[in-house]
């Protein structure tokens, strides 16, 4: 991180501190009974969650150990302070603005821990070989994040995600190398796009119709999604994962419709 980055961060936090101080002072004028009293009691919790929301956006700039520790602390703070709001408004309707503060913190934490950069197939079909070379190059260069790539030899069709990486900033020295290696390996993918959560592609089957019928794109943390996941972990927290060699014949799969969890079909 450069001196300019440090200066910008200091200025941002100073501006936020000023707003929070002004907010806390204005809350002193609230009445002590009913809703005013609850809002006054909630001021420290509001400020804490807003600070967590802001800090989560900077977790990606930390080293791996610090990032993991920061994420654990942020998760603890979100749960603790959401519970504090529930206590303060116990038996009462919680204001929409308070609910939004909690949801913003939860979304920021999710984006910081599960978000990253995604490549999508722009060619009709992308089939990749075993990624041994790209994995070795990234790990040897000090990559300590997560990398998901297509199952070797299995076709992924247009508009579906074909790669996802997190734990590296694209404008860092390591990031420049990573963001050159991945598209070179994929050959036929889009420019990378930053997304708040990784997505998985599930090849779904209907054996009464003779085999696969569609590819469904879902958030990677979605539960109980039927089908064969096509993106596999190649590197997790800097550790190389076992990847099988391509199975002969899988490359002959005919194009399938690609659908998304929203019901959209392309």
Task: Using alpha carbons, select from 176, 118, 191, 114 the residue that is nearest to residue 149.
Answer: 118
pLDDT tens profile 80-101: 999 999 999 998 999 999 999 9
Mean pLDDT within 29-36: 77
Domain boundary among 75, 99, 114: 114
Looking at the domain assignment, is residue 77 inside a domain? yes
Q: Model confidence at 11, in pLDDT bands (50, 70, 90)?
A: low
Q: Are residues 240 and 256 in the same domain?
A: yes
Q: Are residues 53 and 184 in the same domain?
A: no
pLDDT value of position 35:
81
159: Cβ contacts below 8 Å, ≥ 6 apart: 120, 121, 258, 266
Quick one: CA torsion of 63, 65, 68, 74, rounded to 10 degrees?
-80
Which residue shows structure tokens 């949801």? 103
Please count the structural domains in the chain: 2
Return d(Cα 131, Cα 182) in angstroms, integer: 10
Q: Are residues 182 and 203 in the same domain?
A: yes
Evaluate if residue 40 carries a pLDDT over 60.
Answer: yes
Mean pLDDT within 30-57: 85
Q: Are residues 144 and 73 in the same domain?
A: no
Q: Are residues 66 and 128 in the same domain?
A: no
Question: Residue 65: what are its φ and ψ, rounded to 5°?
Answer: -60, -45
Q: Are residues 156 and 223 in the same domain?
A: yes
pLDDT tens profile 177-235: 999 999 999 989 999 999 988 999 999 999 888 889 999 999 988 888 899 999 999 99
Give 110 or 32, the one with higher predicted confidence.
Answer: 110
Q: Are residues 121 and 253 in the same domain?
A: yes
Domain enclosing residue 78, as ranges: 3-114
Looking at the domain assignment, is residue 265 inside a domain? no
pTM summary value:
0.71
Question: Residue 130: what are its φ and ψ, rounded to 5°?
Answer: -65, 135
Q: Are residues 148 and 199 in the same domain?
A: yes
pLDDT value of position 39:
87
**Over the Cα atoms of the chain, what is R_g?**
23
């Amino acid at each position: 991180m450069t001196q300019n980055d440090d200066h910008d961060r200091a200025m941002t936090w100073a501006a936020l501190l000023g707003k929070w101080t002004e907010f806390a002072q204005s809350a002193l004028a609230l009445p002590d009974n009913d809703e005013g009293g609850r809002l006054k009691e909630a001021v420290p919790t509001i400020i804490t969650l807003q600070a967590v929301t802001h800090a989560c956006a900077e977790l990606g700039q930390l080293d791996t150990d610090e990032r993991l520790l920061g994420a654990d602390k942020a998760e603890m703070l979100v749960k603790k302070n959401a519970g504090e709001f529930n206590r303060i408004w116990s038996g009462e309707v919680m204001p929409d603005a308070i609910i939004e503060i909690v949801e913003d913190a939860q979304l920021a934490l999710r984006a910081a821990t599960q978000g990253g950069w995604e490549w999508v197939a722009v060619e009709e079909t992308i089939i990749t070989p075993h990624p041994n070379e790209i994995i070795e190059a990234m790990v040897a260069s000090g990559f300590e994040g997560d990398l998901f790539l297509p199952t070797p030899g299995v076709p992924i069709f247009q508009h579906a995600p074909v790669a996802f990486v997190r734990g590296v900033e694209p404008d860092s020295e390591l990031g420049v190398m990573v963001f050159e290696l991945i598209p070179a390996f994929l050959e036929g993918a889009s420019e990378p796009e930053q997304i708040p959560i990784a997505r998985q592609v599930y090849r779904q089957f209907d054996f009464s119709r003779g085999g696969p019928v569609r590819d469904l794109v879902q958030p990677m943390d979605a539960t109980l999604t039927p089908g064969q996941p096509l993106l596999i972990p190649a590197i997790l927290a800097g550790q190389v994962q076992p990847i099988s060699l391509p199975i002969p014949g899988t490359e002959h799969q005919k194009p399938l419709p690609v659908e998304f969890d929203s019901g959209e079909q392309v």
